Structures are given as structure tokens and as C-alpha cells.
Amino acid sequence: MAEQKPLEFSYGGQAVIEGVMMRGQYVAAIAVRNPKGEIVVHEEPLNAALYRGRIARLPFVRGLVLLWDALGLGTRALMYSADVALEDEEDIDISFQSAAGAGLVIVSLAMSIGLFFVVPAAASAAVQKATGFDSRFLADVIEGVIKLALLVGYIWVIGFMSDVKRLFGYHGAEHKTINAYEAGAELTPTNTDKFPIQHPRCGTAFLLTLVVLSVLIHMLTGRPDNVIVLLLSRVGLIFPIAGIAYEVIRFTAKHLDNPLIRLIIKPNLALQNLTTRQPDEGMLEVGIAALERVLAAERAAYGESAEPVAEAVSAEIPVSTAG
């Protein structure tokens, strides 16, 4: 295969069960290795309004909409990959547009918000009440430390599970494949394996950025004395902060040639050491198969002259997808 010319678009992806999902601006592809050792690939179109419409150009709003869609797409990809891994792909409803599907995403998101935002706020309020200290700044610091500890601890603990280790291996394959593609390298397992296992647009980076920004913004917006109001304020600010976090990730990914930006994203890249594993050759083959299907479909249907209007943040979000 000749060296390829990358399309001008920031592709993203997600590890799934025994596979990788890759997302472009027109289609997404899910490549999964079944028990026979074959790579099964499914392709589906993406919502035109979300990925190529006016909303894809709106700062702060686009992040929330695209991340919500990424949760739904990621859930569908995980369900599909599970069925393929069990050789049951004949029965999978990949569309997953039912109320049950939306409910699963909402429940998953609610649990994540509860664990990483409500619990730290409640715990810091309890510490403040038990000790009697009157410093709101200190209470916010305690809340921030608990948030970071829960995030890192959660990722670290699930990383010991054998199934999650393999999932993180496919996460590494997804990153290496994207890195190789963005460098213009030929997509072969040998070439792809030479590239870094971290990527600045990873969902892990988004999560850490979200948590850090939430600590800083909460310090600026004040800390209500009433615990119920405190918890409601934390939940209410999550989505605006998520919109800001998306723009931060987008901005830093575009300015990696700046030494200050490279310094700022070091914690984001370091945390990815917990959510990725070095992939084997078979995992790399799956990641390449998924990306090549997306590239082929978009070139065939829309041509290389298609004007990209949005950027895909890697949807590898441990909070909601366990990987």
C-alpha cells in the first residue's frame, strides 16, 4: 500500500469488546474480531445535523451535543461488539434508537455524575461540618482532591480486570492507528505499532480536563452553605463546564507545536497510561480495519474534497463505557 494522504479531519474512536469503533464526519465503523478470528466490520451513517450542520460550528454547544451523541454511539458499538464476540451478530439491533437505549445512556451518565461530582461535594460538606472549619476555599480544595482521587482510583482499579485490560489494549490500538494516520504513515500493524499509545484528544484527557476545570470554576462561582443547593449547583454546572472542557481539548490538540501547550497536556497524556495497554498485532489489525472502512466509505461517497466542519474527540470515556 502506498503512503496515504490524510484527509483534513480529526478522526476519533473508542475501544469496544474485542474491537475498535472509528468515527469520521459522515460514517462510523465498528471492527470486531469474532471467536473464529475473523474481523467483522459494521458501518453506519452519522447524524448530518450534528456532525456537519450549523451546530457543529457553535463553540461550547457543539461539544455537549457531540459528546451526547458519542455516548449513544459508543453504547451501540459496545452492544454490537458484545454480540459479535459471542457470535450472535445476526440478532443485534445496531440502531438502538429505543427508549431503553436512551435510558441506558441516561442512567450511565447519572451514575457518573453522582460518583464524580455529587459524592465529592457531599463528602467535602460533611468534612466541613464535622471539623467545623469555616474556609470555603479549603472545602473546595478538599472537594477537588476527592474528585481527582475518585477519577484516578476508579480507572486504576478497573484496570486490574482481565476484560478491561483487553479493552484498554484495543484503546491503545485505536490511539496508535489514529496517530499513524495523522502522521501520514502507511497503515500496517508494523508501522502503526511505532506510534505513541497516547493521544491528546482522548476521552481520558477530556475527563481530567473536566474535573480540573470544575474545581477552578467552582472556586470562582462560590460555595453555597446549604448542602442541597450545593449539590444542585454542582450538577447544574456540569454541562456548561463540559462544553468548556471540549473547547480546551480542541484548542490544545490544534496547538501542540506550542511548548506551553505541550506542558499543559502532560497530565492528560500521563493519565492515559492507566486507560491504555500496548496492543498486540491482532488488535492493531482491528483498529486499522475500522479506520480504513471509515476512510474508504467517506472517500467513495463524498470524495476527498468534502469540506470538514467538525472535530471528533476520541470517545474513550471510562466513566460511561468502562474503558
DSSP conformational letter for 312: P
**What are the sequence ranges of the domains in the chain?**
12-321
DSSP 30-91: EEEE-TTS-EEEEEEE--HHHHHSGGGGSTTHHHHHHHHHHHHHHHHHHHHHHHHHTT-GGG
- Give the tens place of pLDDT for each residue, 144-203: 999 999 999 999 999 999 999 999 999 999 999 999 999 999 999 999 999 999 999 898
Sequence-distant (≥ 6) Cβ neighbours of residue 40 within 8 angstroms: 31, 32, 33, 34, 84, 89
DSSP state of 37: S
pTM, whole model, 2 decimals? 0.85
The H or E element that residue 31 is part of is strand 27-33
pLDDT tens digits, residue range 24-46? 888 999 999 999 999 999 998 88
**Is residue 105 predicted with pLDDT exceeding 90?**
no
Q: What is the mean pLDDT of the chain?
A: 84
